[in-house]
Amino acid sequence: MVHKCLECGVCCKLFLVNLTEEEYKAGKYKTQFEMFGLVDDFIEAEMCAANIIEQKKDGSCTYLKNGKCSIHKIRPKSCREFFCTSKSKTFTIMIDKIKERRKKVG
Ligand code: SF4
């Protein structure tokens, strides 16, 4: 099945984006605690959620601009792998949350 992003931006408003070790250490994404510096040990960074992309006050991803991903071509791995049209059990809970949100906003 070919997955296609519906570009609704709902997932970018609902979920935290965990960076991989490589992405985190490359330092090209804004993370929520970057003002405190980089945590050298990635396992420690994951434990204190330092590898999560910065969120705006409303909880949406900092890179969501006018309902679109402003870094689409270089978006993190977790964003590239997630599709709300996926049949993968890995994403079942996330997809259900998206469906609930869509029902609420109509
Ligand atoms: S990086 Fe882009 S695709 Fe990923 S959550 Fe943020 S706005 Fe959405």
Q: Whose CA is nearest to atom 2 of ligand 1?
A: 69
| 99 neighbors 10 (Cβ within 8 angstroms) | no
Residue 93 belongs to some domain of the structure: yes
Atom of ligand 1 nearest to the CA of 63: 7
Residue 2 belongs to some domain of the structure: no
Residue 5 belongs to some domain of the structure: no
* DSSP state letters, 18-46: BPPHHHHHHT-S-BTTGGG---SSHHHHH
48 strand-pairing partners:
none
Residue 4 belongs to some domain of the structure: no
pLDDT of 15 strictly over 80: yes
Structural domain of 85: 10-105
Question: Is the model's pTM score more than 0.85?
Answer: yes
Could you give the number of structural domains in the chain?
A: 1
Atom of ligand 1 nearest to the CA of 75: 1
pLDDT of 68 strictly over 70: yes
Q: How far is the CA of 76 from the centre of ligand 1 (A)?
A: 8
pLDDT digits (tens, 9 = 90+) for 23-58: 999 999 999 999 998 899 999 999 999 999 999 999
> What CA–CA distances, in Å, run from 18 to 1, 2, 9, 46, 100?
25, 24, 17, 8, 22
Q: How far is the CA of 106 from the centre of ligand 1 (A)?
A: 22
> What CA–CA distances, in Å, run from 93 to 4, 14, 33, 82?
19, 12, 27, 12
Query: How confident is the model at residue 66, as a pLDDT?
Result: 93
Residue 82 belongs to some domain of the structure: yes
Residue 1 belongs to some domain of the structure: no
Residue 31 belongs to some domain of the structure: yes
